[in-house]
Amino acid sequence: MSPIYESASLLVGPDTLEAMKKDGLLLIKPIAYMRGNTFTRDYIIVDEAQNVTHKQMEMIVTRLGRGSKMVICGDMRQKDLSYKLNSGLPFLLAVSQKISKIGEFELKNNHRNPLVEEILDYYNEFNNTLYSDKKANRNNEKFQRPSKARKLHIRSGGVDSSNDTSVHKWRS
């Protein structure tokens, strides 16, 4: 829940966020607690939907009550489920093409650090290579795994890597 509260706090400020929670204007629920609810005259945001299974997605969209709107956000490139077919997001996207009251849009710009876009390009290139020809990938020197444990510091000013097994995390 922490990332959701952090984002909301950035949008409205920590004092307003606390007041909204106290007044019942903002409610954040895990998927496990949505069953049995009907959201009437509410605005529902489902985040990280690429990690919602097909059955969970069906349950979520059927919670939509009269006068409510639902926004479902997800990026299939960041899916953690074991098989793409397990995610309910692709099916819902296909349904959105058939029902006129459902809209879809794709964000073209990265809202995080510009360095993330460059890193994602290499991940996408690696994943495309991996899935298109697994055998050839074993000999692909461009993406060989390092032989030693390494630490990698990523920050706006650049990247610093050195041989080490420790992990460091900081905010800049």
Q: What is the pTM of this model?
A: 0.65
Distance (Å, whole) CA 53 – CA 59: 10
- Exposed e or buried b for every residue in 129-141, given b needs 16+ CB within 10 A? eeeeeeeebeeee
* Cα–Cα distance for residue pair 129/135, rounded to 1 Å: 10
Alpha-carbon distance 55 to 37, whole Å? 16
- Degrees to nearest 5, angle at CA 11 with 8 and 13: 85
- Helices and strands (H and E) in the chain: how many: 6, 4
pLDDT of residue 160: 42
The CATH architecture annotation of domain 2-96 reads 3-Layer(aba) Sandwich (3.40)
Task: Give kind and range of the element (H or E) at residue 15.
Answer: helix 14-22
Helix (H, G, I), strand (E, B) or coil at 151: strand
Domain boundaries, the chain: 2-96, 114-163
Count of CB atoms situated within 10 Å of the CB of 126: 14
Among left, alpha and beta (phi > 0; psi -120 to 50; other), residue 103 is beta
Geometric angle at alpha carbon 135, from 130 and 137, rounded to 5°: 45
User: Which band of pLDDT confidence, cut at 50, 70 and 90, is reported for residue 124?
Assistant: confident
14-69 per-position pLDDT tens digit:
999 999 999 988 888 888 888 899 999 999 989 899 999 999 999 999 999 999 99
